[in-house]
Homo-oligomer: A and B are copies of this chain.
């Protein structure tokens, strides 16, 4: 029975990952067992490796292997611009965009009355401190356009008002986006922010 139990445990644990349910977890586990040498063993090795080596950057909250992450340690990035994001996935999305050359600050979530997340649960005190210490002239609030994201943006704006230039990402129609697929809020925002051609 032990192998079946291990497989069941593996499926249960995989099913807890975001984007996977019980069915896709079962299919993923079977696929891994089928490709034991190519997938299962290398995945297990990489996971151990990541579990041992990856840590949060002491300054910005990004992931890396040292006290400071690659971005904080990179002398070519601009110190004057700081982009505030909710989590590391958003930082990665900004980096894929490839046009931002400043530094980041990863909050680690959003303020949420429902989940009892206050400023001290996030990296907000640390953000205020960085504004004091690092000669930052502009803070770009790249938070998600959700209720909690915008509540958090307003809270941070209140904290930093008068100390630094505060900006946010422009709202509008994404490149290649079709109007028919966009939600009404996006269309409304894009219309309000319309500009002369």
Query: Which of A's residues lie within 8 Å of B, judged by CB?
Result: 1-4, 6-7, 9-10, 13-14, 16-20, 23-24, 26-33, 36, 39-51, 53-55, 63-66, 70, 87-89, 92, 180-181
Contacts and interface: CB of A to CB of B under 8 A. Distances in A.
A136 to B, nearest CB: 24
Contacts of A29: 50
B36 A27 contact: no
B27 A13 contact: no
Nearest to A1: B70
Contacts of A50: 3, 6-7, 10, 29, 32-33, 40
A47 B40 contact: yes
Q: Is the interface of A mostly helix, strand, loop or mixed?
A: helix
Given A36-B51, A50-B40, A19 B28 contact: yes
Contacts of A10: 43, 46-47, 50
B43 A14 contact: yes
Across the A-B interface, give the 5 residue pairs with the lowest CB-CB distance, nearest first. A3-B65, A19-B24, A44-B47, A17-B28, A44-B48
A63 B26 contact: no
Contact of A16 (B4, B39, B53, B70): B39
Contacts of A39: 13, 16-17
27 contacts: A1-B65, A1-B70, A3-B54, A3-B64, A3-B65, A3-B66, A4-B63, A6-B49, A9-B46, A10-B43, A14-B43, A17-B31, A19-B20, A20-B24, A23-B180, A23-B181, A26-B92, A26-B180, A27-B89, A29-B50, A30-B89, A33-B54, A33-B63, A36-B51, A40-B47, A41-B48, A47-B47
Q: Which of A36, A46, A65, A70 has the most CB of B within 10 A?
A: A46
Nearest to A16: B39
A87 B41 contact: no
